[in-house]
Amino acid sequence: MDSSWQPATNSATSLGTKAVVIGASTGGPTALLEILKNLPTLSLPLLVAQHMPPQFVPEFAAYLTHNTEHVVEVGTQNAMITDGHVYVAPGDGDMRVMRDALDQCHLILVPPSAFLKPNIDVLMASVATVYGAGSLGVILTGMGTDGLEGMRAIKSVGGKTIVQDEATSAVYGMGQAVNEEHLADEVLPLSKIAAAISAWSALS
């Protein structure tokens, strides 16, 4: 990795920069589609880690673009992060956010750190580092505990967290893990998550 890449400092918080990061697994594609259909274009980036084989990710991103009002892209190495865009992590490794020496945020793709990929914890922890208290983490339906440590990282820097509730989750595993650790600011049915993201994102 280029030595000029550095983790962000707390300056991200003082500058008021913000980002939404969503983690999902089983049932996630349907949930993400519903959220994006009901979410207005935001003046901030939205980053997604959806457990998915790599060959399906480009088609998934194209499907979301075609069926919503959002620009949805597959994350690429060193891509500059643009407000209003949605970035879906590739399925063959992990995706991180980094801030460079010019205070610009980029995506960094790294080898997989776990069996399930892309790893939600890796993406969320990097968002917490870069965006600080301006981070908004969302855990959707899925099996296991991926995302737990990422949500913990977001809470530790003063960010906000939303978890999809059990009743509307295809599998209430990841959300339950976060909720049982008391790391969720809101536990909501899927139908209310877009409005909650929009409301939190309007706060500066």
Known catalytic residues? 25, 51, 146
Backbone angles phi, psi at 180, to 5 degrees: -70, -20
| 5 in Cβ contact with 102 (< 8 Å) | no
Q: What angle do helix axes 57-67 and 28-38 make, rounded to 10 degrees?
A: 30
Instruction: Quickly count: other Cβ atoms within 10 Å of residue 46's Cβ.
Output: 25
Bridge partner residues of 185 (DSSP): none
Q: How far apart are CA 33 and CA 12, in angstroms?
A: 29
Nearest CA among 39, 46, 48, 40 for reference residue 18: 46
